[in-house]
């Protein structure tokens, strides 16, 4: 019987790209550590040998020209793709090969390059969806359907927490508007708020400043620093705006054609001749 | 927890309960005839079907064309169980009905899980084809069953439940359906389901177990379709496979679409109205219209046999008109004039006051002023002023 249950479980968890990786935890001082992380699509080596080491409370940048594989790294880290080589660890715990929702529960939360909100839901509900995975807001379907006291308690505390989060992002007044009616900058903020609602240990931001005007970007820099300080958060971000990166990131990794071109201190890495060559060409 | 009792959330229960009480009193005093009770039973079945399908189509956002298939399973399995129970000591009373309802719901839910699994991999049209095929498979299976099992071509004989009380039970089941589905939707689980509809990728990244919710919604929706099927089998002397064809699935889908996707009250209203007009149109055609000269002309020169096909044609035309009215850009003005909310606010003399609109509502369509536009355009200049290497990279990297 147990074998049968196991079979059904594996059937439901089948991945398109099955990982043969065996998970083993390691000793690590870093919040995120990747070892030889790589993925190939057919013959194309999209990302190879990426070794990231991100310390606690660090803001870490991942930059590179278009098509360098930055977003692919994000997709690997959040379980959208299963890596063909290597592994990644959160505080030493191997998360390679887990499903997206499991990885999110373990403590990775991300935003997207092109904003992906729940457009037909109100702002506060967007955040509440993010909260729903937390153990303290646990409530089974039967409890909800029968409207047992737990349901009301959970709903109340969830709404309260969601409002608190929205207040931090200056979105409290818009909480009952549909997410799609927010202006661009606020949509970005809401996406970050929703990611934070899942109580992550590492926040992955994919081009958070894209399409923002200078005022909004400045505001975003403040917000990100605020998140790091007040949520005790570690942040990994992809960005093209070098002013933004150099003003915010403690360390960066530069990718080009799926491989690491330079890494380390932001200023040094940006002034690396290889990096300049990759960007300007020639 | 009762402080914020929202009347809007519960109004549908009240309306249905009041209607139920009124009709129940009428039926006990002999105020309504047989055909009306039949119509009421049909309406109750339609509401259960429409509300349960709206869970999949409106809230999960997947197109399902096999809802009649789930109903078919409920009707046949529940009907068979009730026929078997009627021979035992339980008889054909309320106990029989409850057991049959449960068995029918469980059987349909199990099939809902089977259909829910491909829904994890397939999108849109492809899933619609799978559900369509499922409905046809179910129908064909029962069509080809042996006389001893489900009756095959001649249909399954079921005990007809007491005519005067079945519609009351049916409406109680409607209330139960509403309670379960509304409570499910208005909880964290319902939010998760709508999140999957709005953006599945983001839902996964936000930690929602998409697999679980998709299968759960399909099973829940199928269970209530099965319950509707069991009630149908109790309202008939014989369950015929012909009733559960593709057209019936579409009919249920039309109820959901016309009522407005993601609106349970809309589904209830459109299910009631469509079933009502469907019945009235059928009566009109068979009684009044068939005596006219036009009908005689048509039966002699245009069509062969039954005039009932005109029912479907009129039905289709009305649907087309409603869809055009709802979606055509050129009718936007008319739609705004006939907007129900505006008409209601006029009726109650509540004037639309722009100063009382929340700032949030008004702010979004304001075009940026010239100064703000200048700031947006000056982005490049700011970066050039920095003068160091990183800024240079930034500009070019950004524009690449």
Smallest CA–CA separation between A90 and chain B, in Å? 17
Query: Are A43 and A96 found together in one domain?
Result: yes
A243 touches chain B (CB under 8 A): yes
Q: What CATH number is associated with residue B174?
A: 1.10.3470
DSSP category for residue B367: P
- What pLDDT is stored for residue A15 in this prediction? 47
Q: How, if at all, do strands A59-63 and A234-238 pair?
A: parallel
What mean pLDDT do residues B66-84 have? Answer: 93
Query: Are A209 and A86 found together in one domain?
Result: yes
A4 within domain boundaries? no
- What pLDDT is stored for residue A12 in this prediction? 61
Of residues B184, B204, B364, nearest to A141 (C-beta): B184
Query: How many domains is chain A built from?
Result: 2
**Per-residue confidence at B141, pLDDT binned at 50, 70, 90?**
very high
Tell me the three state secondary structure of residue A48. strand
Burial A112-140 (b: 16+ CB within 10 A, else e): beebbbbbbbbbbbbbbbbbbbbeebebe
Q: Which domain holds residue A178?
A: 120-199
Pick among B2, B196, B363, B397 to test the A interface (most A CBs inside 10 A): B397
Query: Are B279 and B378 found together in one domain?
Result: no
A220 within domain boundaries? yes
Q: What does the radius of gyration of chain B's CA atoms come to, in whole angstroms?
A: 27
**Per-residue confidence at B28, pLDDT binned at 50, 70, 90?**
confident
Chain B (324-383) residues lying within 8 Å, Cβ to Cβ, of chain A: 359-361, 364, 372, 375-376, 378-379, 382-383
Chain A (82-121) residues lying within 8 Å, Cβ to Cβ, of chain B: 100-101, 104-105, 109-110, 112, 116-121
DSSP A134-191: SGGG---HHHHHTT-HHHHHHHHHHHHHHHHHHHHTT-GGGTTSBGGGS-HHHHHHHH
Whether the predicted pLDDT of B390 surpasses 60: no
**Per-residue confidence at B386, pLDDT binned at 50, 70, 90?**
very low
- Domain end point (choices B287, B313, B329): B287
Chain A (219-238) residues lying within 8 Å, Cβ to Cβ, of chain B: none
Angle between helices B264-287 and B163-185 (to 10 degrees): 150
Pick among A123, A129, A154, A274 to test the B interface (most B CBs inside 10 A): A129
φ/ψ (deg, to 5) at A23: -75, 130
Q: Contact B300/B277 with Cβ under 8 angstroms?
A: no
- What pLDDT is stored for residue A67 in this prediction? 85
pLDDT tens sequence across A58-75: 999 999 888 888 999 999
- What pLDDT is stored for residue B303 in this prediction? 76
- Domain end point (choices A152, A182, A199): A199
What span, in angstroms and rounded, lies between the C-alpha atoms of B210 and B232?
A: 33
Chain B (194-213) residues lying within 8 Å, Cβ to Cβ, of chain A: 194-195, 197-199, 201-211
- What pLDDT is stored for residue B95 in this prediction? 85
Query: Are A210 and A257 found together in one domain?
Result: yes
What mean pLDDT do residues B61-66 have? Answer: 88
- What pLDDT is stored for residue B393 in this prediction? 33
A261 within domain boundaries? yes
Which residues does chain B have within 8 Å of residue A197's beta carbon, measured at their own beta carbons? 206
Question: CA nearest B181 in A: which residue?
Answer: A145
What span, in angstroms and rounded, lies between the C-alpha atoms of A239 and A250?
A: 14
B283 within domain boundaries? yes
- Domain end point (choices A154, A180, A199): A199
Whether the predicted pLDDT of B343 surpasses 90: no
Query: Are A210 and A280 found together in one domain?
Result: yes
- What pLDDT is stored for residue A73 in this prediction? 92
Query: Are B136 and B256 found together in one domain?
Result: yes
What mean pLDDT do residues B8-36 have? Answer: 85
A162 within domain boundaries? yes
Q: Where are the alpha helices (DSSP H) in chain B?
A: 7-28, 34-54, 67-87, 94-119, 124-143, 163-185, 188-198, 200-205, 210-235, 246-259, 264-287, 293-297, 309-327, 332-337, 340-347, 359-363, 370-377, 379-386, 389-399
Query: How many domains is chain B built from?
Result: 2
What span, in angstroms and rounded, lies between the C-alpha atoms of A21 and A37?
A: 12
- What pLDDT is stored for residue B134 in this prediction? 93
What mean pLDDT do residues B227-234 have? Answer: 94
Q: Contact A200/A109 with Cβ under 8 angstroms?
A: yes
- Domain end point (choices B264, B287, B310): B287
- What pLDDT is stored for residue B170 in this prediction? 92
- What pLDDT is stored for residue B358 in this prediction? 40
Query: Are A214 and A193 found together in one domain?
Result: no
Written as six digits, the tokens of B374 are: 């200048």
- Domain end point (choices A168, A199, A230): A199
Smallest CA–CA separation between B183 and chain A, in Å? 5
Query: Are A139 and A256 found together in one domain?
Result: no
**Does the beta-carbon distance from A182 to B364 stay under 8 Å?**
yes
Q: What CATH number is associated with residue A101?
A: 3.40.50.300
- Domain end point (choices B287, B318, B335): B287
Whether the predicted pLDDT of B103 surpasses 90: yes
Written as six digits, the tokens of A229 are: 């300080």
- What pLDDT is stored for residue A104 in this prediction? 92
Q: Which domain holds residue B74?
A: 7-287
Choice among B93-102, B213-222, B366-375 with the minimum mean pLDDT: B366-375
B241 within domain boundaries? yes
What mean pLDDT do residues B253-281 have? Answer: 87
Whether the predicted pLDDT of B21 surpasses 80: yes
Query: Are A215 and A179 found together in one domain?
Result: no
A222 within domain boundaries? yes
**Does the beta-carbon distance from A78 to B205 stay under 8 Å?**
yes
Query: Are A100 and A35 found together in one domain?
Result: yes
Whether the predicted pLDDT of B347 surpasses 80: no
Query: Are A191 and A224 found together in one domain?
Result: no
What span, in angstroms and rounded, lies between the C-alpha atoms of B112 and B109?
A: 5
Written as six digits, the tokens of A143 are: 């409890």
**Per-residue confidence at B76, pLDDT binned at 50, 70, 90?**
very high
A273 within domain boundaries? yes
A191 within domain boundaries? yes
Smallest CA–CA separation between B208 and chain A, in Å? 6
Q: In chain A, which residues have pLDDT < 50?
A: 14-17
Query: Are B164 and B268 found together in one domain?
Result: yes
Query: Are A148 and A267 found together in one domain?
Result: no
Query: Are A91 and A207 found together in one domain?
Result: yes
Query: Are B117 and B241 found together in one domain?
Result: yes
**Per-residue confidence at B341, pLDDT binned at 50, 70, 90?**
low
What span, in angstroms and rounded, lies between the C-alpha atoms of B177 and A69?
A: 49
**Per-residue confidence at B398, pLDDT binned at 50, 70, 90?**
very low
Whether the predicted pLDDT of B109 surpasses 90: yes
Written as six digits, the tokens of A226 are: 């605020």
pLDDT tens sequence across B158-212: 887 777 788 899 999 999 999 999 999 988 999 999 999 888 899 999 999 999 9
In percent, how much of chain B has pLDDT > 70? 84
**Does the beta-carbon distance from A242 to B189 stay under 8 Å?**
no
Which residues does chain B have within 8 Å of residue A128's beta carbon, measured at their own beta carbons? 188, 191
Q: Quick one: which of B172, B40, B46 has its CA closest to B98?
A: B172
B123 within domain boundaries? yes
Query: Are A150 and A84 found together in one domain?
Result: no
B336 within domain boundaries? no
């Amino acid at each position: 019987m147990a074998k049968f249950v196991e079979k059904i479980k594996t059937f439901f968890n089948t991945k398109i790209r099955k990982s043969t990786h065996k998970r083993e935890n390691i000793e690590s001082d870093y919040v995120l550590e990747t070892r030889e992380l790589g993925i190939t699509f057919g013959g194309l080596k999209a990302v190879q040998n990426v070794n990231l080491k991100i310390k606690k409370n660090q803001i870490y940048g991942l930059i590179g020209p278009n098509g360098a594989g930055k977003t692919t790294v994000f997709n690997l880290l959040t379980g959208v793709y299963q890596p063909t080589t290597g592994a990644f660890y959160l505080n030493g715990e191997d998360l390679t090969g887990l499903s997206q929702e499991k990885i999110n529960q373990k403590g990775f939360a991300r935003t997207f390059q092109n904003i992906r909100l729940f457009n037909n839901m109100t702002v506060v509900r967007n955040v509440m969806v993010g909260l729903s995975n937390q153990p303290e807001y646990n409530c089974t379907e039967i409890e909800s359907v029968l409207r047992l006291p737990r349901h009301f308690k959970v709903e109340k505390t969830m709404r309260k927490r969601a409002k608190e989060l929205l207040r931090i992002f200056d979105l409290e007044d818009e909480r009952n508007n549909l997410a799609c009616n927010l202006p661009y900058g606020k949509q970005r903020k809401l996406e970050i708020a929703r990611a934070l609602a899942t109580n992550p240990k590492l926040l992955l931001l994919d081009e958070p400043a894209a399409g923002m005007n200078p005022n909004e970007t400045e505001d975003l820099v403040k917000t990100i620093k605020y998140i790091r300080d007040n949520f005790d958060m570690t942040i990994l971000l992809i960005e093209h705006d070098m002013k933004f990166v150099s003003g915010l990131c403690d360390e960066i990794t530069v990718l080009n054609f799926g491989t690491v071109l330079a890494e380390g201190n932001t200023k040094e890495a940006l002034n690396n001749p290889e990096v300049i060559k990759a960007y300007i060409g020639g | 927890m009762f402080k914020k009792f929202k009347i809007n959330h519960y109004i549908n229960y009240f309306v249905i309960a009041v209607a139920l009480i009124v009709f129940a009193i009428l039926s006990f005093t002999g105020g309504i005839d047989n055909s009306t009770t039949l119509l009421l039973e049909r309406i109750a079945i339609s509401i259960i079907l429409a509300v349960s399908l709206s869970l999949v189509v409106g809230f999960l956002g997947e197109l399902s064309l096999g809802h009649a298939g789930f109903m078919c399973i409920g009707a046949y399995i529940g009907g068979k169980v009730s026929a078997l129970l009627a021979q035992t000591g339980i008889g054909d009373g309320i106990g029989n009905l409850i057991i049959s309802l449960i068995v029918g719901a469980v059987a349909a839910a199990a099939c809902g899980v089977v259909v829910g699994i491909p829904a994890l991999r397939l999108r849109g049209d492809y899933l619609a084809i799978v559900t369509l095929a499922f409905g046809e498979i179910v129908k064909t299976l029962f069509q080809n069953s042996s006389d001893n099992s489900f009756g095959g071509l001649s249909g399954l004989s079921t005990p007809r439940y007491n005519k005067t009380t079945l519609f009351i039970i049916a409406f109680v089941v409607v209330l139960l359906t509403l309670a379960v589905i509304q409570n499910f939707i208005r909880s964290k689980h319902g939010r998760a389901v709508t999140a999957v509809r709005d953006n599945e990728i983001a839902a996964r990244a936000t930690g929602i177990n998409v697999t679980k919710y998709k299968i759960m919604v399909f099973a829940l929706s199928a269970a209530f379709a099965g319950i509707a099927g069991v009630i149908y089998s109790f309202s008939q002397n014989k369950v015929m496979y012909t009733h559960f064809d593709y057209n019936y699935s579409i009919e249920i889908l039309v109820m959901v679409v016309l009522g407005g996707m993601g609106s349970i009250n809309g589904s209830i209203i459109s299910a009631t109205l469509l079933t009502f007009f469907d019945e009235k149109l059928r009566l009109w055609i068979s009684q009044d219209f068939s005596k006219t000269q036009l009908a005689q002309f048509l039966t002699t020169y245009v069509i062969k046999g039954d005039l009932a096909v005109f029912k479907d044609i009129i039905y289709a035309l009305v649907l087309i008109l409603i869809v055009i009215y709802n979606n055509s850009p050129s009718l936007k003005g008319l739609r705004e004039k006939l907007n129900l909310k505006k008409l209601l606010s006029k009726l109650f003399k509540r004037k639309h006051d722009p100063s009382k609109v929340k700032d949030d509502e008004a702010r979004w369509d304001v075009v940026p002023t010239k100064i703000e536009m200048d700031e947006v355009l000056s982005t490049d200049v700011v970066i050039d002023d920095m003068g160091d290497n990183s800024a240079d990279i930034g500009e070019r990297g950004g524009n690449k």
